[in-house]
Amino acid sequence: AWFGQWGHQTCHEKCATPHFDSELLAFFDKHVAGRDVRIPGPRITVGQFDGRWRGETQWPAADTVRVPVELRTGRYTDRGLLPGPDREIWSVTEPFAREVHLSGIPSATLSLT
């Protein structure tokens, strides 16, 4: 499996691991065509924002830590879809003291008034 931060339209440019084509063909051969083939590479390949890739043996990763994040008070006004790839950027915390890798499916419990 491949995980990363890319869109489907630009995947071949942005999500190409060094052996992406052979891994992809082997994946389809095994899981679609039902052939008995070995898929090369790690079981799970994760793309990072710095362009590097890392392999994982399970997902979520073994060193995963759940981190609750308290939202700051204030207001947010949706301005619709702005032009460009970074349509809306806002933060919910102060900067971290060390480098961290954030990934996963976010969840939120909101009380709106």
Per DSSP, the residues of the chain read -EE-S--GGGHHHHS--TTHHHHHHHHHHHHTS----PPPS-SEEEE-TTS-EEEESSSS-TT------PPPSS--------SSS------SSPPPSS-----S---------
Highest mean pLDDT among 5-9, 19-23, 72-76: 19-23
Q: What's the pLDDT at 8?
A: 61
CA–chain centroid gap for 20, Å, is: 17
pLDDT digits (tens, 9 = 90+) for 38-48: 988 888 888 87
Q: What's the pLDDT at 26?
A: 92
Residue 1 CA to residue 10 CA, distance in Å, equals 18
Question: For the CA atoms of the chain, what is the radius of gyration?
Answer: 18
Q: What pLDDT band is residue 13 in, cutting at 50, 70 and 90? A: low
Could you state, in order of their start, the residue ranges of all structural domains in the chain? 2-56
The mean pLDDT of the chain is 77
